[in-house]
Amino acid sequence: MRARGTAALTLGVAVALIAGATLGNGGANLMPLFVDDFSSRFALGDSGAGLVGATQLMATAIVTLRLAARAARPGRVRMARTGLAVGLAGFVGATAASDLPTLILANLVIGAGLGAVYAAATAAIAATDDADKASAATIAGTVAVTALLIMAVPAANRSVGEGTGFLVMALCCLLAWPLVGGLPDGPTTSGNSKAGAATAPPNATATPTWVLLGGIALLWAVTQGAWAYASVFGREHTGMSASAVSVVLAVSGVVALVGAVLGPAAARRFGRTRSLAAFITAQALSMAALVLTHDPVLFIVAAVLWQACQLAVLVQTLAAAALLDPSGRLVASLSGASALGTGIGPLAVGAVLDTAGAGVLGVLLALGTFVASLPPLRMTVASATADRAQQPEPEPEPEVEPAPAAKPG
């Protein structure tokens, strides 16, 4: 199940993909830390700080979607580096901000810069010769580097001063500048594919439908929204301490890396559509269990299973999009849609939790996951057809002419 890419997945390419995806999605992954900083520095309430964070996330989503078509063409390195420069300026501005309007403007700049980086990096996954391995390596590396940033940003705020965590992110933009130079560009007619298949022409792109983008946005709104309140569920429903819940969530995030490995393996063994359906089902049920359970043991099991299945779903979705559209436009568009859902999810889940309670929320999260999964599952069916079309036809065996009969002596 290999994408029609042109670049071998070397260490340099993998590092470039990880650097771009980590920073491109850094706003979403580190937003709880940013919100804490907004609240303490500017004396904002939860809703006010959340709205400031939402401006950054929405800017990232919109720019990623707007640049998806541009990311399908050569010039991804320049796009990523431009985004890094813009993001760096935004992080410095957020550090120096002394009033709320400046802080909001800085977050809009951050979001715009990170959106450009995210579009370039995710589109580049489709330019590799093995989309499954590329997406798995990118996601696993992003999780690992993000875990380090989750420790580094608050440490800088505590040891140096409030707001300096943004300088850590600005430094990361500088460090990523040379690394993203390894991002591969779009496919050309080449024989580099490990599968030996002919690659697609550079201008072959697939326009994502609004149904598919909406499904991905809903899937990530459900996922990120539930994750934003996972600590609340653990403390209020199971009686676990805040520190114990933090440990559980941290461990589940690390163990979830298994999902990045299981995703491609399951796709090869059982088929992408069938295995993706199984992972989505397990994700929906474990998410509902985490929200509804009052048993600490079940909460721990549900958290680990949920996160592992989530990464498996993400790996398979990106790989299917890369296979279906080797230009990278589809991957970048889906990444923008997921960023949009990530920004909306916590606000929507919080509203449902306040008005209807955890019982209704658990049911809605499970149903939302199933409904949102239908367009991605349909996409995997199309990608399977594209995958079979790429496979080289076996060369016919040369015909052997029978030897002439011997003449009688």
What's the pLDDT tens digit per position in 120-170? 999 999 888 888 888 889 988 998 898 888 888 888 888 888 888 899 999
Q: Which residue type does 4 have?
A: R
> In this structure, are residues 334 and 212 in contact, taking their beta carbons and an 8 Å threshold?
yes
Question: How is residue 235 written in tokens?
Answer: 């403390």
Residue closest to 103 by CA, chosen among 32, 39, 153, 15: 39
Mean pLDDT lowest among 76-80, 121-125, 242-246: 242-246
pLDDT of 204 over the 60 cut: no
**Positive/negative CA dihedral, 256, 311, 279, 247:** positive
pLDDT per position as a tens digit, 340-368: 888 888 778 888 888 888 889 889 998 99
Q: What pTM does this model have?
A: 0.78
CA angle (282 as vertex; 301, 147 as ends), nearest 5: 55
Instruction: Give the C-alpha distances (Å, rounded to integers) separating 158 from 35, 107, 155, 163, 242.
Output: 15, 21, 5, 10, 20
Buried b (16+ CB within 10 A) or exposed e, 298-315: ebbbbbbbbbbbbbbbbb
Beta-carbon count within 10 A of 403 CB: 6
Q: What share of the chain is helix, strand, coil (3-state, %, to 5)?
A: 80, 0, 20
What single string gives the DSSP state of each residue in 257-297? HHHHHHHHHHHHHH-HHHHHHHHHHHHHHHHHHHHH---HH
Mean pLDDT of the residues in the chain: 83
Q: Please give the residue that has the higher pLDDT: either 256 or 217.
A: 217
pLDDT of 233 over the 80 cut: yes
